[in-house]
């Protein structure tokens, strides 16, 4: 069995303690994406992008190239190691130790971009490389690749619908590449046009919610479709990180910073309801952040 075959079908867990006092008819559930073989939601997009690229053919001698803040790169790395495909990844130089070591373990060739420019700097570096030598580089471009949201439209949305027996009323998720939110929103709306979709961004450009983008101050991903969001919420960093910590201590769920923001958004929605089934998604596990002391103090 290939690692591709293990992607998806992640558990949907009801949150009971960290949600506090909600009306009896309101439920909050979370997809636990760390259960994917590569440890994050990015396994879905990476596997779909690679499948699509392989189906269209990979020119002899070309190296796969993309930019990532970590999780997509790790997913690419695990799949490319299995397939024997050469991969170069542009990563911000300030990415944490765990991510760099995981990528090195998979044999990924790392190029480090300016840490002050974050994920946008990594995108610009990858774009420049691909433009300068198109015969050498096969640029996967997760931020523009339609296979990214399609993986969630066909996969994540289908799973949520089935796991909730079609009871889901609200979809809440953070925005990074935006593929997870956009694709899942499209897939759920096809099943029930009354489902409300709520996107979550960091409250400002200088935030500590790794994996999320503050779109007004960043490169807006071409796959972003504002029409898929009924509502936009702006997550405060401190409250989101506190919720991330509470998930470990009260629910037994070790998750990354972006999961705290997703939970913050889900609770904002849930507190305004009399009844409903609110579903969010936790993109990765907390094990990838153990070297970042500020997340655990």
Q: Which residues are catalytic?
A: 42, 258
Chain CA centroid to CA 114, Å: 22
Looking at the chain, the number of H-run helices and the number of E-run strands are 9, 10
What's the order of all strands across the beta sheet hosting 87-92? 109-113, 87-92, 63-67, 137-139
- Token pair for 214: 């503050």
SS3 call for 297: coil
Q: What is the distance between the alpha carbons of residues 179 and 273, in angstroms, rounded to a whole number?
A: 27
SS3 call for 135: coil
Q: What residues contact residue 125 under an 8 Å CB cut-off, 6+ apart?
A: 67, 90, 111, 113
Query: Based on C-alpha coordinates, what's the Rg of the chain?
Result: 18
Give the CA dihedral 214, 220, 225, 229, nearest 10 degrees.
Answer: 10
Partner residues linked to 31 by β-bridges: 12, 281
Kindly state the DSSP code that residue 255 receives in the 8-state scheme: B
225, 219, 207: which is closest to 264 by C-alpha? Answer: 207
């Amino acid at each position: 069995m290939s690692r591709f075959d293990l992607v998806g079908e992640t558990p949907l867990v009801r949150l009971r303690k960290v949600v506090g006092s909600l009306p009896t008819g309101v439920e909050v559930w979370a997809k636990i994406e760390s259960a994917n073989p590569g440890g994050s939601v990015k396994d879905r997009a990476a596997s779909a992008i690679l499948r699509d690229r392989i189906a269209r053919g990979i020119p002899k001698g070309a190296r796969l190239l993309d930019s990532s803040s970590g999780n997509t790169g790790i997913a690419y790395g695990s799949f490319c190691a299995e397939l024997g495909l050469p991969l170069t990844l542009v990563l911000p130089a300030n990415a944490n130790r765990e991510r760099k070591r995981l990528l090195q373990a998979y044999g990924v060739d790392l190029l480090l971009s300016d840490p002050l420019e974050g994920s946008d700097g990594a995108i610009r570096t990858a774009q420049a490389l691909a433009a300068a030598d198109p015969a050498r580089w096969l640029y996967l471009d997760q931020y523009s690749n339609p296979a990214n949201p399609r993986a969630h439209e066909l996969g994540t949305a289908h799973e949520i619908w089935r796991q909730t027996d079609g009871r889901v009323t609200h979809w809440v998720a953070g925005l990074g590449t935006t593929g997870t939110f956009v694709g899942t929103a499209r897939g759920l709306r096809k099943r029930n046009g009354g489902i409300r979709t709520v996107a979550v961004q960091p409250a400002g450009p200088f935030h500590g919610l790794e994996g999320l983008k503050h779109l007004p101050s960043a490169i807006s991903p071409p796959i972003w479709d504002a029409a898929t969001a009924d509502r936009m919420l702006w997550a405060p960093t401190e409250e989101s990180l506190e919720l991330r910590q509470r998930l470990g201590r009260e629910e037994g769920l070790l998750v990354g910073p972006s999961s705290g923001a997703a939970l913050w958004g889900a609770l904002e929605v849930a507190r305004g309801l009399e009844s409903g089934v609110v579903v969010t998604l936790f993109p990765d596990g907390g094990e990838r952040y153990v070297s970042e002391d500020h997340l655990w103090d």
